[in-house]
Structure 1
């Protein structure tokens, strides 16, 4: 196998994009399907093509890179001639990010290419890839091809052993849906979403990709993984080995994809989405205990320690983030000041405060920005406050004694969340204000893409013509929007509401704004582009 030639480097802040002329393998046929990228003896990244962005490098630091071709059969080339590059200052400005759902490639046909064509990727700093699961026996990170029972909240074992290695790194992308227009070769060590996200970073070098573990369906075993120092170390090291060092397992469902360092350099950090430490309010069957409060802090400390140790050894800084609860009753079970010392930032899930699980209503906003005297919802025990975003932010930063919340989380590390989906009720009378705060008879109808009563993506409402004109309403007290049509009430964030939340985040010194998730947006990428513009 011949060595790669013509290696060049382009610096963008703390990322370096490398390009080269590929190897040829005279003992086989065709070009080498993959490349290792080194800085000295440190393996920094792998690539399935002839370019890659090495991200999360240290600012104002000199690096020397070489590239080596390899293939699935173990053939390897000599290393290329070296190229040197010195990084600049870290990118500035607010954190703007969005979740990319692993499963969005199926019914929604939402691929990383859609992010690229939206035009928003260049305005985002982070994409959070969701979700990976925790092994029910070993309590470590793992990969599998096994469907979850994710639409059945009453199933206590809905996520046990579930995973989607096929979507992650086995699916062969064709040129029409790939980021760079090329089709995957069958012999590539990794394909799927992982390789497409790598291609996306090559197009937008300032973009970082963070891997999220947990979520609503996959939080069952966090309590077990965090329970002891030994279990925390085993869990954290397994996740770093698999997703940061990139040692993906092979042979899952008979597929040869994966292998040592096959995903090296792809992920720029880890996101912990534990829903919720110490609380019975998570998915049915979730394990929890009072010890979760301290163990959650210790788990984040273990991630910070191990990410820093590995990052320091190769000249990188890895992000550690967390999806944080927004309800006072759930914030009371964590330690805001203590966890903030380990996190680069916290994504607050400032949504899902109300929805059709409140079967008979009254209708209400799923993410009111401010309190309203007209809000008929009960106060959150044991205090006297209702759910709203402003109360959440104050609880994290200043504390709230009536809930035992001590605060102390720096505002500059908090990132405010907005949903790209709407919660809905049916059987809602118009009342005096287009269905707001009125009784209901049940959840809104099942939709084409979301396939769940009581929820509708923005794009589904756009397709029904419900997002413009007389069906859209605005409440200046809560700075929130809603949609009312023929007895159906939807609550979520229109462009006006997203703009208001960006203005609030700026005025209150928050670190940024994020969305859950890309696939809910319309074909014009209305919401993600509004989010990018909402914080200057």
Structure 2
């Protein structure tokens, strides 16, 4: 499944390619000083390979290109690369991608496709003009609209108003672009200037708007000058405005779980969160490394799995989850994405990283800022489980190790990137919080994701049964310090600012089998049956297979047959969010998105609870 070129290679072994080059020139409107030439590269009877070459023959740089042509009925594009190709009936349009739209004088760009049918393109236009570079008067594209002005700016909305563009045949509508991505198409006003209100914004966030006119022949003119907008409020945690609502997306979810970046959009999750942690990058030999190259940037997405409904092509420069996250950000520009390194399995590499924090930070920066996906990530998250303590492996780097690593990472990434950490919630006396200088390290971190879950579970095979994510201690709790409130209180007492603490919510349950007692504290014979792992199950499964029968310590538990599970529900999450707001915490986060229902009911509980 990792052989990217299999289909195309197969075609080239079946036929001998030939070139049939034609310059198609059919009048449309003025677009001088550029040409588009079609080449038929292969022909295998029922279909063919084709490519277009766009050349800037002028003396000024082209900022974008748009090639249009007609196919005879029965001929169509089956797949394409290096351009976005769409159709209306037999009329086809190819537009540049974000990375290949700019052409300096004399420069060329080529895009291609595989076609079905015997036909040949005709009636070619390039940017509204003839494909041979000639200018055909009489049907000009629209002019640029006036520079938009902004008014009525709130935490979540802004109104844009602009003067009309002109066109010899009339204006059909206007495209509104936010940060270069179209967010709306609006008809022109019958009188006076046209306006549009964007009410999908985030508090304390910067945006840039332009407007582009479209005439009655669907030709687009140049974009207007831009206007900058900053919404009111403060998007920083604890700053008196919006709270952080962060969720983990796991790279391995694209396999057996069949959970993709698109699901963040279709479930409504993307509209209700502020940040995503992409889990995980590895830590090897003291450096940040890729965790799963295939899932991260090589997996080819079909149209039905893709965020924007456009399938990946075999030769595009970035695929996989990273490309899908890029598409998600284009659709939801308020979201910030962090690359999370470490986790339970890959935290062992932090011990060597702590020996040379500057080299570690440099390696992480180089990876996060790789030119192929630099625009995807807004920061880095360090998930070290656990500094100067034991997780899957034990570390003895000393109490200052996390502080030193954090300082080096912040220095390298600078103030314009987010730098965060997932940390222990072990508030017991002499426990993991006591092992490291979390207060000192917090000066370099934007916030901590306090992992206030997995306190109890079926690794204690015979019990006692206990909720894995209690908000508060309760009579009979098996271990002192193993609750969210005790962990948060201890971190505050150490000197960590409350606004830098996020409360963790698990979107799963932990459970046992062989249990006869309904209330917590019962005896078990082993772990409960889970879909992917013994003793653990997604909320979306448990809500119907083992509905909650009670609450304890601010979370829910369930007894069904001889099984006993604990997990959070929308109701207990609302309780936890009210508590987080009362504690003036920076917000909340969850592990992980694939455990929620298809309509995101747990995310919605976090979202509404932190309003």
Q: Normalized against structure 2, the TM-score is what?
A: 0.64
Q: Which residue of 2 aligns with 1:521?
A: 596
Q: Does 1:318 align with 2:417?
A: yes
Q: Which residue of 1 aligns with 2:509?
A: 422
Q: Which residue of 1 aligns with 2:492?
A: 397
Q: Does 1:288 align with 2:395?
A: yes
Do 1:52 and 1:199's aligned partners in 2 also have CA atoms closer than 8 Å? no
Q: Which residue of 1 aligns with 2:122?
A: none
CA deviation profile, 1:445-484 (whole Å, cap 9, x unmatched): 132xxx21111111222352x23xxx53123xx1121011
Superposed displacement of residue 287, structure 1:
4.8
Question: Match for 1:211 among 316, 321, 339?
Answer: 339
Change in 2 beyond 3 A, CA 1:457/1:242: same
Q: Does 1:510 align with 2:585?
A: yes
Do 2:510 and 2:536's aligned partners in 1 also have CA atoms closer than 8 Å? yes
Do 1:222 and 1:287's aligned partners in 2 also have CA atoms closer than 8 Å? no
Change in 2 beyond 3 A, CA 1:218/1:428: same
Q: Which residue of 2 aligns with 1:342?
A: 444
CA deviation profile, 1:61-97 (whole Å, cap 9, x unmatched): 89999xxxxxxxxxxxxxx999655352553411111
Q: Which residue of 2 aligns with 1:72?
A: none
Bigger Rg, which one = 2
Q: Does 1:235 align with 2:360?
A: yes
CA deviation profile, 1:193-249 (whole Å, cap 9, x unmatched): 00100111111111000110000000011011112xxx2111111111111x2x2xx
Change in 2 beyond 3 A, CA 1:81/1:307: farther
Q: Does 1:30 align with 2:112?
A: yes
Superposed displacement of residue 121, structure 1:
1.3
Q: Does 1:369 align with 2:471?
A: yes
CA deviation profile, 1:91-130 (whole Å, cap 9, x unmatched): 3411111000011111111111110111121221101100
The runs of at least 4 consecutive aligned structure 1 residues that moved more than 2 Å come to 1-7, 18-31, 50-53, 59-65, 80-87, 89-92
Task: Provide the rounded CA distance (Å) in 1 between the counterparts of 2:253 and 2:208.
Answer: 37
Superposed displacement of residue 52, structure 1:
9.6
Do 1:178 and 1:196's aligned partners in 2 also have CA atoms closer than 8 Å? yes
Task: Provide the rounded CA distance (Å) in 1 between the counterparts of 2:182 and 2:408.
Answer: 30
Question: Match for 1:106 among 224, 238, 255?
Answer: 255
Q: Which moved more, 1:117-126 or 1:20-29?
A: 20-29
Instruction: Please state which structure has a larger fraction of its residues in strand.
Output: 2
Q: Which residue of 1 aligns with 2:91?
A: none
CA deviation profile, 1:174-202 (whole Å, cap 9, x unmatched): 11011111011222111000010011111
CA deviation profile, 1:488-508 (whole Å, cap 9, x unmatched): 010111111111110110011
CA deviation profile, 1:238-269 (whole Å, cap 9, x unmatched): 111111x2x2xxxxxxxxxxxxx111211000
Q: Which residue of 1 aligns with 2:289?
A: 142
Task: Provide the rounded CA distance (Å) in 1 between the counterparts of 2:277 and 2:559.
Answer: 32
Q: Which residue of 2 aligns with 1:172?
A: 300
How well do the aligned residues superpose, as a CA RMSD in angstroms? 2.9
CA deviation profile, 1:383-437 (whole Å, cap 9, x unmatched): xx33111111110002xxxxxxxx100101100000001000111112xxx2421
Superposed displacement of residue 60, structure 1:
8.9
Task: Provide the rounded CA distance (Å) in 2 between the counterparts of 1:325 and 1:494.
Answer: 23
Task: Provide the rounded CA distance (Å) in 2 between the counterparts of 1:202 and 1:416.
Answer: 28
Q: Does 1:388 align with 2:388?
A: no
Q: Which residue of 2 aligns with 1:531?
A: 606
Question: Match for 2:409 among 303, 322, 330?
Answer: 303
Aligned with 1:122: secondary structure?
coil
Question: Match for 1:479 among 554, 570, 573?
Answer: 554
Task: Provide the rounded CA distance (Å) in 2 between the counterparts of 1:199 and 1:109.
Answer: 18
Taking CA–CA contacts closer than 8 Å with sequence separation of 6 or more, which of the two structures ends up with the larger relative contact order? 1
Superposed displacement of residue 20, structure 1:
10
Do 1:293 and 1:333's aligned partners in 2 also have CA atoms closer than 8 Å? yes
Unaligned runs of 5+ in 2: 1-53, 57-61, 67-96, 114-179, 184-203, 211-221, 236-240
Q: Which residue of 1 aligns with 2:376?
A: 266
Change in 2 beyond 3 A, CA 1:186/1:333: same
Q: Which residue of 2 aligns with 1:275?
A: 385
Do 2:272 and 2:603's aligned partners in 1 also have CA atoms closer than 8 Å? no
Task: Provide the rounded CA distance (Å) in 1 between the counterparts of 2:408 and 2:357.
Answer: 7
CA deviation profile, 1:140-188 (whole Å, cap 9, x unmatched): 1223xxxxxxxxxxxxxxxxxxx31000000111110111110112221
Q: Does 1:443 align with 2:527?
A: yes
Unaligned runs of 5+ in 1: 8-17, 32-49, 54-58, 66-79, 144-162, 248-260, 312-316, 379-384, 399-406
Aligned with 1:127: secondary structure?
strand
Change in 2 beyond 3 A, CA 1:126/1:457: same
Q: Does 1:459 align with 2:540?
A: yes
Question: Match for 1:330 among 405, 409, 432?
Answer: 432
Task: Provide the rounded CA distance (Å) in 1 between the counterparts of 2:432 and 2:317.
Answer: 42
Q: Does 1:132 align with 2:281?
A: yes
Superposed displacement of residue 28, structure 1:
3.1
Aligned with 1:332: secondary structure?
helix
Q: Normalized against structure 1, the TM-score is what?
A: 0.72
Aligned with 2:608: secondary structure?
helix
